[in-house]
Structure 1
């Protein structure tokens, strides 16, 4: 594949400059003047590309690799062909992520619809809204009364920023997103079609039906949070829904009212978190997991994909399955089920 017109290559960065920026060691210093312009997978990398490897299983991919450089652990440097410059460090995955950010900065934020800054004539900005300097508001976006938008922020086409919403500085709100009843910190990224701050699912049932419970809380999103496309985060009932600093939430996640998520937690697509659940710091939740309301998941917990969490999980534990249980017990149960299945298939017809 040739370089994408959506994310064209960088003008060129010297390897010695890249190594210094990423705190890597360039094994052959004589290659320091070579230029890298884009990231690429190993098997189709061309001159000017940089790639990375994490294990010796990548050795075969070097047969078609014409990359200028590769990032790897020092223990893997010996498998890299001599025509490819080698940068080594303790965490190649993180280093490669940061190299990508340097070479393709435009891909780190929601894509602009038009190549222009400032407030587009077709956007509506209420006269009482306050926009700091260098804010971009794209076509058909709406910014409501008394909203405040921090400097350097981007509001995509058709996005809606409701009345009294506050966005910090250098936030990116992609096309079609809706944010109401919410305060956002700095450098928050909201992707296309996300819905933030709508009322939570709360009803009081009785014989004649169900009465809606008022939802008068807020959504608080702290600094450096990223929220994926078509994810929904309900505002609190009378308290707040809170997303902690640095947490990353994938596409199509549902977060109910009064949920509190800690710092640097990762939540993969199609997870559903019911109201008033508490999620700690540094938690990792696999895709399509369902989490019951009013339970607590401790710091550092890891939950396997397709799990159903129905009770508290202590800090640092690994859980999986439906209902979720310690991962060793879950894997043992799965092994027993597979063995029984194999015996059944091999038995008399």
Structure 2
């Protein structure tokens, strides 16, 4: 890959210092003074890069690897070429993520769009009743509504709209084009471009002539600390209760979260997931891409849901489910195996009859 000017290399971190910061063991102490400047995949890592390896499947990629260092566990250290320093750790994936944060801090949250001095742009609108702590950045064309509160160190990107009474905590990033209303947001929250939070939930009752009558949506959205919300994700406000996103939860792009949904702490929700109104999601739940979650059901703590699943009923804590309708993973995989075998048998019979 050609030089990436969007994320230039770090000035350099001594490998020994990096190992200490990551809690990894540098197997060759004589390599401690080598400098690491960037992260890279194994197959094209060059001098100054650090990469990571999780299994022997990457062994062939080591043939072209010229990295300064590689993160891996004890079982893989022996296959690393002698010219690459080994940082041994049982959590190579996590250590690599931390290395990226050290070497590419600017990539950890959406960057400022304009190069004008930090502060409140003359091209933004800030209502006179809004209260912004020192150090808030407001970029051009942002609109800060009446009685909004924004904490120190928060960045408000271009075209962002904060509706009346919205509260944003400290050190948050609200990226270009995001829109919030009826929302209370904690500290260190990231909203990527185009995210929409706090709009009406989808609620209608039967009308007198067969149509639908709108049900008012007068709840809020509460987003706790350290949440990250992807581009073009939508989170509806509650009907009369609150929609809640728990501390540390990470939500991918293009996810739809309905009214009154409550999501626990440290969940991971992948792109195109749809969660219908009043669903309850426990702590540490992982939901694969394009899964659909029925409304008014409960997903227990630690549940894992496979991509493309359709969840129609409660799932007990700690279970792994998949399929449509979603069922325990062992049952889902058995059903898939049976269908595959039947299909193969039908194909064989068709071939024999030709």
TM-score by length of 1: 0.99
Aligned to 1:265: 267
* Structure 2 unpaired stretches of 5+: none
Q: Distance in 2 between matches of 1:205 and 1:245?
A: 37
> Which deviates more from structure 2 when the two are superposed, residues 118-127 or residues 243-252?
118-127
Aligned to 1:102: 102
- CA shift at 1:207, angstroms? 4.0
Matches within 5 A, 1:200-349: 200-208=201-209, 209-347=211-349, 348-349=353-354
Aligned partner of residue 254 in structure 2, secondary structure:
coil
Matches within 5 A, 1:18-167: 18-116=18-116, 117-167=118-168
TM-score by length of 2: 0.97
Aligned partner of residue 94 in structure 1, secondary structure:
helix
Deviations 1:71-109 (A, max 9, x none): 111221111111111101120000000000110001000
RMSD: 0.8
Q: Distance in 1 between matches of 2:54 and 2:262?
A: 34
Deviations 1:230-267 (A, max 9, x none): 00000000000000000000000000000000000000
Q: Distance in 2 between matches of 1:119 and 1:45?
A: 41
- CA shift at 1:186, angstroms? 0.4
* Structure 1 unpaired stretches of 5+: none
- CA shift at 1:2, angstroms? 2.8
Q: Distance in 1 between matches of 2:115 and 2:335?
A: 55
> Which deviates more from structure 2 when the two are superposed, residues 77-86 or residues 111-120?
111-120
- CA shift at 1:111, angstroms? 2.3
Q: Distance in 2 between matches of 1:295 and 1:140?
A: 41
Q: Distance in 2 between matches of 1:139 and 1:323?
A: 47
Aligned partner of residue 51 in structure 1, secondary structure:
strand
- CA shift at 1:24, angstroms? 0.9
Q: Answer yes or no: is 1:198 the counterpart of 2:207.
A: no
Work out whether residues 3 and 9 of structure 1, in 8 Å CA contact, stay in contact via their aligned partners in 2: no
Deviations 1:307-327 (A, max 9, x none): 000000000000000000001
Aligned partner of residue 336 in structure 2, secondary structure:
helix
Q: Distance in 1 between matches of 2:4 and 2:235?
A: 33
Q: Distance in 2 between matches of 1:3 and 1:320?
A: 42
Q: Distance in 1 between matches of 2:98 and 2:115?
A: 25
Q: Distance in 2 between matches of 1:333 and 1:58?
A: 32
Q: Distance in 2 between matches of 1:335 and 1:81?
A: 41
Deviations 1:98-133 (A, max 9, x none): 000110001000122113411111011111111111
Q: Distance in 2 between matches of 1:162 and 1:183?
A: 11
Q: Distance in 2 between matches of 1:204 and 1:252?
A: 27
Aligned partner of residue 79 in structure 1, secondary structure:
coil
Work out whether residues 255 and 273 of structure 1, in 8 Å CA contact, stay in contact via their aligned partners in 2: yes
The runs of at least 4 consecutive aligned structure 1 residues that moved more than 3 Å come to none
